[in-house]
């Protein structure tokens, strides 16, 4: 009976994500048979939970729109994920450390002893490697204000500070928040500029709510993540490396922007070429990064970077010989 209750509780938590899943998919997640899944669904229905059966292509089972889950339904995997998230969120959001610590303590107190031991095993300390230059922590209130405008489909007024620029007042249609390469971006349509923009959240200062509705548009590429990843003009700044250089690559800016390391700048030159400015801990390090694009290089600056490429060529010739 205990195993059955635990399995039914996990099934309820799976339904809590809002997805429609087939009996076969549910059986795989629970590690049981389809017959057992259907029996557990009947159990949940007897307990008063509205579990809908969706027919046709893409059908399966889902939680009904009026169904309400218990206040906390965590299995051990969810408890670990939540504990790790609460420990790492202060690294990307400022003004939230104390609240995250209190939430983590509350979570630990509400867990059964076994789940608490699993969660406490994941004590996270932050570290940075040579290639990681995340943005400064973002004010949690800014994320709350912008996220609320996205959910309500309301225009948002912000002050946006570009690299080395004064803040510019903008009125935006906010569509999505994207976290990519340790940075938060807002995908928005700039009404004054009549263009889509990927904007660094750490450079945004939100004003009071406008309460002005707007209709959602189709995002370029049909996906906010793809748009941010391929947008050369996303407000990134050149990271403070010991060595910094640049070169023109025979590749489109969108291609280079997708694979350029964090803390680099991509500028479109023509439809088929762009300029990449980047840094590393050594000149050969920059040279090696440029070579990974497997494209012709021109206008290489500075002289130290050109010398590093000459040295690498000599070493490669010797190695091949």
Domain extent at residue 271: 243-320
15 in a domain, yes or no? yes
> Dihedrals φ, ψ of 102, to 5°?
-70, -40
Give yes or no: residues 142 and 223 share one domain. yes
Q: Could you tell me if 144 and 223 lie in one domain?
A: yes
142 and 208 assigned to the same domain: yes
Report yes or no on 234 lying in a domain: no
Residue 165 and residue 197 share a domain: yes
Considering the domain architecture, whether residues 111 and 149 belong to the same structural domain is answered as no
Phi, psi of 149 (to 5 degrees): -65, -35
Nearest to 288 by CA among 134, 131, 183, 135: 131
Coil, helix or strand at residue 78: helix
For residue 236, is it within any domain? no
Phi-psi region of 221 (alpha: psi -120 to 50; beta: other; left: phi over 0): left
Verify that 34 and 110 share a domain, yes or no: no
What number of other Cβ atoms are within 10 A of residue 270's Cβ?
10
Is 235 inside a domain boundary? no
69 within a domain of the structure (yes/no): no
| Side-chain half-sphere CA neighbours of 108 within 13 A | 17
Tokens (6 digits) for 60: 């399966």
Tokens of 10: 């996990």
DSSP-derived secondary structure for 43-59:
HHHHTT--EEEEPSTT-
Structural domains counted in the chain: 4
- Omega into 302 within 30° of 0, i.e. cis? yes
* Residues, the chain: 321
3-state class of 139 per DSSP? strand
Using CA atoms, how far apart are residues 315 and 43, in angstroms rounded to an integer?
70
Phi, psi of 148 (to 5 degrees): -65, -40
Query: Where does a domain end: 229, 257, 278?
Result: 229
**208, 142: one domain:** yes
Q: What is the full per-residue pLDDT of the chain (321 aa) written as tens digits?
A: 445 567 877 787 787 777 788 889 889 988 889 999 899 888 888 877 888 888 877 678 888 876 665 655 666 677 777 776 777 677 667 777 777 777 777 777 666 666 666 666 666 555 555 555 566 777 888 888 998 899 899 999 999 987 667 899 999 999 999 888 778 899 999 999 899 999 998 899 999 999 999 999 999 988 898 999 888 888 887 888 899 999 999 999 999 998 988 788 999 999 999 999 999 999 999 999 999 999 999 999 999 999 999 999 999 999 998
Same domain, 57 and 115: no
Domain endpoint, select from 194, 229, 264: 229
DSSP class per residue in 213-230: B----PPGGG-HHHHHHT
In a domain, 68, yes or no: no
CATH number of the domain bearing residue 292:
3.30.70.250
- Secondary element (H or E) of residue 268: strand 265-268
- Quote the CA–CA distance of 158 and 92 in Å, as a whole number: 20
Same domain, 143 and 221: yes
Asked if the structure places residue 31 within a domain, the reply is yes
Are residues 262 and 218 part of one domain?
no
**In a shared domain, residues 24 and 106:** no
CATH number of the domain that residue 154 is part of: 2.30.30
Q: Do residues 149 and 195 share a domain?
A: yes
Residue 142 within any structural domain of the chain: yes
CATH number for the domain spanning 46: value is 1.10.10.10
> Where does a domain end: 195, 229, 263?
229
């Amino acid at each position: 009976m205990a195993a059955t209750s635990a399995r039914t509780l996990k099934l309820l938590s799976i339904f809590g994500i809002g997805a429609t899943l087939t009996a076969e998919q549910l059986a795989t997640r629970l590690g049981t048979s389809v017959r057992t899944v259907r029996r557990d669904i009947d159990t949940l229905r007897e307990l008063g939970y509205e579990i809908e059966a969706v027919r046709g292509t893409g059908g399966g089972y889902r939680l009904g729109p009026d169904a309400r889950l218990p206040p906390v339904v965590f299995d051990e995997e969810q408890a670990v994920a939540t504990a790790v998230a609460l420990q790492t969120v202060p690294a990307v959001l400022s003004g939230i450390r104390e609240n995250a610590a209190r939430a983590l303590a509350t979570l630990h107190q509400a867990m059964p002893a076994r789940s608490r031991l699993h969660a406490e095993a994941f004590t996270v300390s932050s570290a940075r490697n040579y290639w990681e230059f995340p943005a400064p922590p973002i004010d949690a209130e800014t994320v709350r204000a912008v996220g609320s405008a996205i959910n309500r489909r309301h225009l948002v007024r912000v002050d946006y500070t570009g690299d080395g620029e004064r803040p510019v007042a903008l009125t935006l249609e906010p569509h999505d928040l994207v976290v990519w390469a340790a940075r938060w971006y807002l995908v928005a349509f700039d009404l004054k500029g009549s263009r889509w923009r990927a904007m660094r959240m750490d450079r945004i200062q939100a004003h009071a709510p406008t309460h002005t509705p707007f209709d959602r548009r189709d995002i370029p590429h049909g996906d906010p993540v793809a748009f941010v990843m391929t947008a050369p003009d996303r407000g990134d700044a050149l990271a403070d490396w010991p060595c910094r250089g640049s070169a023109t690559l025979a590749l489109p800016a969108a291609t280079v922007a997708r694979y350029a390391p964090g803390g680099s700048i991509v500028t479109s030159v023509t439809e088929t070429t762009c300029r990449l400015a980047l840094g590393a801990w050594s000149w050969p390090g920059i040279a090696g990064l440029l070579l990974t694009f497997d494209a012709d290089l021109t206008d290489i600056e500075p002289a130290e970077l050109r010398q590093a490429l000459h040295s690498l060529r000599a070493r490669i010739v010797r190695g091949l010989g």
